[in-house]
């Protein structure tokens, strides 16, 4: 797949480099030559360009991309213009745009952005979740529903998944356990050990009822 990242600030830089590391073809665009120089060796192509209109986008081959990430969130008006050009003039299949506020997000969705991200808000929520909830890792699937990872507390150890009866006791579901870099399904007869890292799904409220793991 071919990706283009427009705006290589902190967010755009990490998106572009990670896509390239994952084997994708990546075109990075920014108006700052110094920024382009810093990423040139990490992506397929890096171009210093100030986008004014449809032709400036076509001149570097953006119309040939499968997905374009507009990462210039700080420039409210420019991100709206570029998103509109991508969707309605270049007819890019998928356009993902960074936003800096709720009203910015609503405007971007109205003009056709396929997805709008608010990275600062999402990272802020992730940090707050990790600090305030009993688990180490949280992936929100909705505003109040997530998947979490929890080191098995003493209350769970030497008991079977069936015996612990997570849906009835806590209102959550144990969906598996972490094995190195893999997630393995878990059988109801499995006996939880001290070393287990369990994965749960449920609402934030119900997941918060899980006991915290002992430090180890």
- Report which secondary-structure segment, H or E, holds 79: helix 76-88
pLDDT the model gives residue 158: 95
pLDDT the model gives residue 213: 55
- Of the pLDDT bands very low, low, confident and very high (cuts 50, 70, 90), residue 215 is very low
Structure tokens at 49: 């360009």
More confident site: 140 or 177: 177
Tell me how far CA of residue 126 lies from CA of 33, 87, 159, in angstroms. 33, 31, 31
pLDDT the model gives residue 182: 87
User: What is the location of CATH 3.30.70.1450 in the chain?
Assistant: 132-207
Residues linked to residue 140 through DSSP beta bridges, in sequence order: 146
User: Which homologous superfamily does the CATH classification assign to the domain defined by 132-207?
Assistant: Regulator of K+ conductance, C-terminal domain (3.30.70.1450)
User: d(Cα 185, Cα 44) in Å, to the nearest integer?
Assistant: 38
| Interval 44-74: pLDDT, tens | 999 999 998 999 999 999 999 999 999 986 7
Q: What are phi and psi of 145, to 5 degrees?
A: -125, 135
Span 111-119, average pLDDT? 92
Span 151-166, average pLDDT? 94
Strands 137-140, 145-151: pairing kind: antiparallel
| 136 pLDDT above the threshold of 60 | no
Span 126-130, average pLDDT? 64
pLDDT the model gives residue 216: 40
| Interval 93-104: pLDDT, tens | 999 999 988 899
User: What is the location of CATH 3.40.50.720 in the chain?
Assistant: 2-117
| 2 pLDDT above the threshold of 50 | yes
Q: Which CATH architecture has domain 2-117?
A: 3-Layer(aba) Sandwich (3.40)
Residues above pLDDT 90, as percent of the chain: 68
pLDDT the model gives residue 205: 84
Span 4-22, average pLDDT? 94
More confident site: 136 or 209: 209
Span 69-98, average pLDDT? 92
Q: What are phi and psi of 126, to 5 degrees?
A: -60, -45
Span 27-35, average pLDDT? 96
pLDDT the model gives residue 214: 46
């Amino acid at each position: 797949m071919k990706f283009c990242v427009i705006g290589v600030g902190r967010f755009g830089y990490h998106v572009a480099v990670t896509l390239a590391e994952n084997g994708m073809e990546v075109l990075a665009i920014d108006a700052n030559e110094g920024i382009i120089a810093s990423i040139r060796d990490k992506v397929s192509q890096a171009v210093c360009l100030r986008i004014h209109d449809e032709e400036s986008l076509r001149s570097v081959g953006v119309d040939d991309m499968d997905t374009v990430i507009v990462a210039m969130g700080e420039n409210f008006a420019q991100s709206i213009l570029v998103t509109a050009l991508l969707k309605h003039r270049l007819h890019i299949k998928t356009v993902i745009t960074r936003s800096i506020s709720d009203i910015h997000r609503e405007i971007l969705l109205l003009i056709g952005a396929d997805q709008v991200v608010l990275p600062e808000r999402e990272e802020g929520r992730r940090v707050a979740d990790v600090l305030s909830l009993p688990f180490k890792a949280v992936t929100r699937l909705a505003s109040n529903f997530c998947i979490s990872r929890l080191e098995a507390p003493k209350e769970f150890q030497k008991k079977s998944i069936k015996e612990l009866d997570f849906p009835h006791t806590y209102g959550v579901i144990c969906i598996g356990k972490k094995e190195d870099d893999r997630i393995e399904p878990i059988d109801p007869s499995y006996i939880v050990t001290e070393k287990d890292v369990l994965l749960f799904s449920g609402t934030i409220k119900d997941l918060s009822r899980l006991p915290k793991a002992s430090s180890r």
